[in-house]
Each structure stands twice: as structure tokens, then as C-alpha cells.
Amino acid sequence: MTHLPMTLWQTIDTLVQQIPFRRAKVERVLGIALFDSDPRQFIIEPSFQPLEGGPVRLADGIVIENIDLRVRPQESHPGFLAVDLIGTCISLDTVRAHYGTLAITDYPRGRSLDEVTSFTAILPWGRLSFGFSERNPGCLSEICFAPKGLKRVTPSRSDWANQD
């Protein structure tokens, strides 16, 4: 497991500085190699290259269990990034302390305990969504980065297959 000397909040800020997301930039920040995801994903999302990696332990005890990066060959596309978190519990109040007002942009539909309620901050560079799963609704479980420059910006990775 890779260990980074940054907190979650520092890691988020550093990743935002990498937009548009590219494999090498994300690998450099997180200190890991990303690998091609399941080749069947190319059938679902033929225009995206899905990449995964992890885990990464942060200085504040949080572990980025999985990194999910989706990039397109076109340089003009900003890419998508999502991270799954475990370890130290981060409450919604803690997220609000860092990002202020958040809008609910996704909610569970009863299909799985892994579905999330997403709270999204609208920022100058795009949307940053914080997901709290039904399995453990008091603790942050995922963060999704959706940069501007997309035809349709979605709040959670469950909709990524529908991107233009």
C-alpha cells in the first residue's frame, strides 16, 4: 500500500489542480500505477479508457481503497475521477465545514446497500460530489470529480456510462 504525506483535503486540492485528468498526472499525485479496468468496460463505454488503482493511505488515516479514472483520447476532454474511501469516518458536517453549502444530487433507489446519497459542491472548475452509502450513511464513502467541459455533468459515477 502506498502512503502519502497528505490529508484527504490536501489530496482533493492537489487532484483538482490536475484537471484535465490524465493517467500520468493522477499516478504522479497518488504515487501509484493505474491499470486498465475490466476490458468488458470498453463495450459499455467504448469512448472511455477506464483505469483503476489503489490502495493509498493518507496522513489522516483515510485510505483511498480504489481509484477509478475515465479518460478519453481527445485532449479536450477533462476526464472523470472517483475514489472509494475506507478508514477514518468523515461525517457530512465535516465535509460541509470544508465546502459549505452542498446540494443533494443523487440518492439511493433501493437496489443495493452500496448506493449513495451524493452531496455536491458546485466549484469554479466543476462539481465535487461526496457520496454516503446506505451501508454506512454517517461516513463518507466516495468522492467524484466532474470537471466542466462536459456536455452533461453528472453527480455520481453511476451515470458515467451516459456521458457524451
Q: What is the pLDDT of residues 73-88, one digit of tens each?
A: 766 789 999 999 999 9
Counted domains in the chain: 1
Weakest-pLDDT range from 10-14, 50-54, 59-63, 143-147 = 50-54
Domain range for 36 is 2-162
The reported pLDDT for the residue numbered 50 is: 86
Cell numbers describing residue 135: 451501508
Contact residues for 122 (Cβ-Cβ < 8 A; gap 6+): 103
Contact residues for 56 (Cβ-Cβ < 8 A; gap 6+): 1, 2, 3, 4, 30, 31, 32, 63, 64, 67
Q: Is the pLDDT of residue 32 over 50?
A: yes
Closest CA to 129 of 77, 85, 162: 85
Indicate yes or no: pTM above 0.85: yes
Residues 54, 5, 12: CA angle, nearest 5 degrees: 65
**Residue range 131-152: average pLDDT?**
89
Judged by DSSP in three states, 123 sits in strand
CA–CA separation, 140 and 64 (whole Å):
11
The reported pLDDT for the residue numbered 77 is: 83
> Rounded mean pLDDT of the chain?
87
